[in-house]
Chains A and B, each alone.
Chain A
């Protein structure tokens, strides 16, 4: 059974907590404000924005008490030919020391800033081309709204963030413009590679855009399928660590069918598709090659080993079978329990009565009354 209400409850339980969301928003706003005022940096920075799974609405809360990672890009005006990534990053260290003493650290190509419930992961870019400046400073890029919150997000300079809609009188007109006119064509940004040696391409805006489109075509189920599958892995398997995060998301995006009826349907068929599509690959000891959105010559799976993928593949086989049984079961209790086996305790417990009643609002343990109980 698809159990849409139970899945909705489950998804609420695995998405980042309200505290994490609060922390991210306050943390980001504070960081932005401080960067704008810091003497030595305010003319070096162009803008900054939230990227990653938070923005794409594919983030799940970490297990236990771990902090949630929040990816933030800081777009600088530093010329690539004048500054190596390491040199660029060095410029920020005094700022971090001043405002986040004891709470920041350098981690390869990014800085981490520890907050109460989240860790801000800061990545610098080199100067973008001038043509990008109009869009990079717009609400569409700078807002913190996730794709699930701002369902009409479009990469257009007129787009208005959710928080401003209540106060801006021209919000309706601007949003209509953003809806009707074509989106801005952006170029990749340049960030440090893993060792912070050289600048390489990345395209977070294109990742957001691709996810939005896939989500729209799957009637809003795609981002939930990603979250559910991520959780399934976290819940059941400590090893191998990879694929996780964006590579896992990318893989799901590759195989997830468009014609989904529900999250349950999506999870089952996605896992089954992985099994089908990569059977031969695994047999040959290989692994998928998945170009990044907007940066086609980057293979998202480059750093994942074939062995890890093979182990992962076996886990997917198990998961696909379990999901199929849960989906195909016509017994409420049995289906609920199977989904619980798949996803763990965050999936709601089914009622003991069972039976093939479709889940709805009513419950059986009361005297029969002529109606639902309310009237207008």
Chain B
């Protein structure tokens, strides 16, 4: 029931320009839709010409949030007389109950060139006169492009066809990319088995596609082989030659739609599904991954495989056949055909491409660091923070060396949590690093660094970067006595009193130069000890006699960041000017920054 309320000023300002806009016609009063938090404005848009999926005049609803000119502005096809198909740059366009519009919201604020040429410049949020008309001008441009079939043009970044949202629980992750595409190009089968693994029972309920194989067992490609994932069984995969679409640009919603899409690509839908389901019964599989190659840019060659998981229909022998079907092969086959031809929705499972390039795209370290094997000796306050930075930054192979067990008092400045108290620091930090980067292979050595030279050399032999975060002279001695054939980057990182200063000693060579280290550090450490002596001891509480080293987490993080940056620079090029770098936090009477001390100050 429409409400004849007085429209708010901004909304009236918004609608005014529409009255004069060609090909745009308001068809009724805006209605206040409380559950959307928006006004729904019915209107009709006129295309340049009618096409298969676009009528000459189509109905739409423009939803304008109550906070207009702030909030959202959205355009949906009307349930009656609106477009019913899904196009590129549009959400999946389905009918819905309790609303006069469908779900296919137009993506008008994308930076796609076509629409930008019409209504150039960023969306004028906060401008009541201009904002809605900005959207409508873009909507008309969208409509024109849609009817001319030009929403996806050569040169545009490729957009996947809209997929119905997954109702089934859980998700499937894979890591396809350009690097792996050659495996698919060289493969001449289109169906097979995929080994699925899971992170751990309490994990993100993600199943990871670890290995794609043919039915004969030949491996096409593998991933995450270094991880500690446990197998959760086998799934199936079916590779299609082209993107699986219901025109213009949507993945099939129903089994029947899937069949139609298969037919359009010349595939034997029933035959293949029957084969896959029989295999599924044999291996007790429930998942099918359907996939197709996609380009990066529309019109260019494909560069990677895209997968979409779905749950297979249950065709077990025990399942009661519906009336009219026999409980035998013929009956089962007929039942299957009916199912695959039905309008029941395909139970898609959320599928993600979690290739490290994608996961880390927002900010990872350069390849020279990521590809290095890094050993961190000491995963206490400083070491655990450095480990976190490196693991998240994409370093693939790590080693942690530490004999210590986590106590609750460490947490004030450590990356671990209460769940880890009582556990060995190396194991807990390793677990944490693996949980933030599935790509990351972590080994642990839960004892002190070996003193015996041959054992020490073996332990660290393959690591191109060795970071000492122990502040221990014993470790310095050990790293000096060893000698490694392949020269590597050594970084010794420690903080001074109250972690006001961080001391970074960087050396590229076959072993650590302890004499040079001692000579350069000693005057600085003398000063630190003087400072410490002034304030006296810090004890945990009654009954504990051994003094604590005071240092707050914020300074520890600054020190960890400085360490990580030194490691990064060391990997990019040999350390140039000098081996000892000292950074000081300027914190007296307000934080003014962190600076590197000049040579004469050291």
Q: B-contacting residues of A (Cβ < 8 Å)?
A: 5, 8-9, 12, 151-152, 162, 165-166, 171-172, 175, 361, 363, 366-376
Provide the residues of chain B in CB contact with A162, threshold 8 Å: 487, 510
- Whether the Cβ atoms of B537 and A370 lie closer than 8 Å is yes
Give which listed residue, B495, B521, B522, contacts A376 with CB less than 8 A.
B495
- Whether the Cβ atoms of A152 and B530 lie closer than 8 Å is no
Provide the residues of chain B in CB contact with A9, threshold 8 Å: 515
A370 to B528, CA, bound (A): 11
Known: A361-B522, A370-B537. A376 touches B530 (CB 8 A): no
- Whether the Cβ atoms of B532 and A369 lie closer than 8 Å is yes
Give which listed residue, B522, B533, B551, contacts A367 with CB less than 8 A.
B533
Determine whether B378 belongs to the interface, using a CB cutoff of 8 Å to chain A. Answer: yes
- Whether the Cβ atoms of A363 and B495 lie closer than 8 Å is no
Binds A, one of B252-260, B326-334, B379-387: B379-387
- Whether the Cβ atoms of B378 and A374 lie closer than 8 Å is no
Give B518-546 interface residues, CB cut-off 8 Å to A: 518, 521-522, 525-526, 528-530, 532-534, 536-538
Provide the residues of chain B in CB contact with A369, threshold 8 Å: 529-530, 532-533
Binds A, one of B16-24, B36-44, B297-305, B496-504: B496-504
Q: What 0/1 readout, one digit per residue, does chain B (137-175) give for beta carbons within 8 Å of chain A?
A: 000000000000000000000000000000000000000
- Whether the Cβ atoms of A374 and B533 lie closer than 8 Å is no
Provide the residues of chain A in CB contact with B469, threshold 8 Å: 376
A310 to B329, CA, bound (A): 109
Task: Point out which of A171, A175, A361, A375 has the most chain B C-beta atoms below 10 A from its C-beta.
Answer: A375
Contacts A166-B487, A373-B532, A375-B471 supplied; 12 other A-B pairs, CB < 8 Å = A12-B515, A152-B485, A162-B510, A175-B485, A361-B473, A366-B526, A367-B530, A369-B532, A370-B537, A374-B503, A376-B380, A376-B495
Determine whether B350 belongs to the interface, using a CB cutoff of 8 Å to chain A. Answer: no
Give which listed residue, B486, B487, B494, contacts A374 with CB less than 8 A.
B494
Provide the residues of chain A in CB contact with B487, threshold 8 Å: 162, 165-166
Determine whether B549 belongs to the interface, using a CB cutoff of 8 Å to chain A. Answer: yes
- Whether the Cβ atoms of B522 and A375 lie closer than 8 Å is no
Chain B residue with the shortest CB-CB distance to A172: B486
Q: What 0/1 readout, one digit per residue, does chain B (483-518) give for beta carbons within 8 Å of chain A?
A: 101110000011111010001000000100001001
A363 to B549, CA, bound (A): 21
- Whether the Cβ atoms of B532 and A370 lie closer than 8 Å is yes
Known: A370-B537, A371-B532. A376 touches B473 (CB 8 A): no
Known: A171-B486, A370-B537, A375-B549. A363 touches B494 (CB 8 A): no
Chain A residue with the shortest CB-CB distance to B559: A376
A115 to B327, CA, bound (A): 99
Chain A residue with the shortest CB-CB distance to B524: A373
Give B343-402 interface residues, CB cut-off 8 Å to A: 378, 380-383
Chain B residue with the shortest CB-CB distance to A368: B533
B172 to chain A, nearest CB (A): 36
B575 to chain A, nearest CB (A): 13
Provide 19 A-B residue pairs closer than 8 Å at the C-beta atoms, listed in order of the A residue: A165-B485, A175-B486, A361-B518, A363-B522, A366-B533, A367-B529, A367-B533, A370-B547, A371-B529, A371-B549, A373-B496, A373-B528, A375-B496, A375-B499, A376-B378, A376-B381, A376-B382, A376-B470, A376-B471
- Whether the Cβ atoms of A374 and B485 lie closer than 8 Å is no
- Whether the Cβ atoms of B526 and A363 lie closer than 8 Å is yes
A152 to B503, CA, bound (A): 31
A5 to B495, CA, bound (A): 25
Q: A-contacting residues of B (Cβ < 8 Å)?
A: 378, 380-383, 469-471, 473, 483, 485-487, 493-497, 499, 503, 510, 515, 518, 521-522, 525-526, 528-530, 532-534, 536-538, 547, 549, 551
- Whether the Cβ atoms of A151 and B483 lie closer than 8 Å is yes
Chain A residue with the shortest CB-CB distance to B469: A376
Give which listed residue, B483, B494, B533, contacts A375 with CB less than 8 A.
B494
Ranked nearest first, the 5 interchain pairs of A and B with the lowest CB-CB distance are A373-B528, A370-B547, A373-B525, A369-B529, A369-B533
A172 to B461, CA, bound (A): 10
- Whether the Cβ atoms of B493 and A376 lie closer than 8 Å is yes
Chain A residue with the shortest CB-CB distance to B494: A374
- Whether the Cβ atoms of A375 and B510 lie closer than 8 Å is no
Known: A5-B515, A165-B486. A374 touches B382 (CB 8 A): no
- Whether the Cβ atoms of B530 and A366 lie closer than 8 Å is yes
B211 to chain A, nearest CB (A): 28
Chain B residue with the shortest CB-CB distance to A168: B486
A87 to B514, CA, bound (A): 52
Provide the residues of chain B in CB contact with A152, threshold 8 Å: 483, 485
A interface, over-half SS:
loop
A370 to B534, CA, bound (A): 10
Chain B residue with the shortest CB-CB distance to A166: B487
Give which listed residue, A8, A165, A374, contacts B496 with CB less than 8 A.
A374
Provide the residues of chain B in CB contact with A151, threshold 8 Å: 483, 510
A325 to B43, CA, bound (A): 107
Task: Point out which of A152, A171, A361, A370 has the most chain B C-beta atoms below 10 A from its C-beta.
Answer: A370
Provide the residues of chain A in CB contact with B529, threshold 8 Å: 366-367, 369, 371-373
Provide the residues of chain B in CB contact with A171, threshold 8 Å: 485-486
A366 to B525, CA, bound (A): 11
Give which listed residue, B485, B515, B525, contacts A8 with CB less than 8 A.
B515
A363 to B496, CA, bound (A): 18
A204 to B142, CA, bound (A): 83
A162 to B470, CA, bound (A): 29
Known: A171-B486, A363-B526. A373 touches B378 (CB 8 A): no
B76 to chain A, nearest CB (A): 57
A162 to B508, CA, bound (A): 12
A367 to B528, CA, bound (A): 11
Provide the residues of chain B in CB contact with A165, threshold 8 Å: 485-487
B557 to chain A, nearest CB (A): 13
- Whether the Cβ atoms of A374 and B530 lie closer than 8 Å is no
Chain B residue with the shortest CB-CB distance to A179: B485
A361 to B530, CA, bound (A): 16
Provide the residues of chain B in CB contact with A172, threshold 8 Å: 485-486
- Whether the Cβ atoms of B495 and A372 lie closer than 8 Å is no
- Whether the Cβ atoms of A375 and B530 lie closer than 8 Å is no
Known: A367-B533, A369-B529. A376 touches B515 (CB 8 A): no
A6 to B483, CA, bound (A): 22
Task: Point out which of A12, A171, A369 has the most chain B C-beta atoms below 10 A from its C-beta.
Answer: A369
A369 to B535, CA, bound (A): 9
Chain A residue with the shortest CB-CB distance to B526: A366
B52 to chain A, nearest CB (A): 57
Provide the residues of chain A in CB contact with B538, threshold 8 Å: 370
Provide the residues of chain A in CB contact with B522, threshold 8 Å: 361, 363
A166 to B499, CA, bound (A): 35
B521 to chain A, nearest CB (A): 8
Provide the residues of chain A in CB contact with B532, threshold 8 Å: 369-371, 373
A165 to B528, CA, bound (A): 39
A130 to chain B, nearest CB (A): 31
Chain A residue with the shortest CB-CB distance to B563: A376
B551 to chain A, nearest CB (A): 6
Give which listed residue, A166, A370, A372, contacts B525 with CB less than 8 A.
A372
B426 to chain A, nearest CB (A): 14
- Whether the Cβ atoms of A373 and B526 lie closer than 8 Å is yes
A373 to B494, CA, bound (A): 10
Provide the residues of chain B in CB contact with A374, threshold 8 Å: 471, 494-496, 503, 521, 525, 528
Provide the residues of chain A in CB contact with B473, threshold 8 Å: 361, 372
Chain A residue with the shortest CB-CB distance to B539: A370
A357 to B536, CA, bound (A): 26
B67 to chain A, nearest CB (A): 51
Provide the residues of chain B in CB contact with A175, threshold 8 Å: 485-486
Chain A residue with the shortest CB-CB distance to B538: A370
Chain A residue with the shortest CB-CB distance to B521: A374
- Whether the Cβ atoms of A376 and B383 lie closer than 8 Å is yes
Provide the residues of chain A in CB contact with B530, threshold 8 Å: 366-367, 369
Provide the residues of chain A in CB contact with B495, threshold 8 Å: 374-376
Provide the residues of chain B in CB contact with A166, threshold 8 Å: 487
Provide the residues of chain B in CB contact with A372, threshold 8 Å: 471, 473, 525, 529
B114 to chain A, nearest CB (A): 47
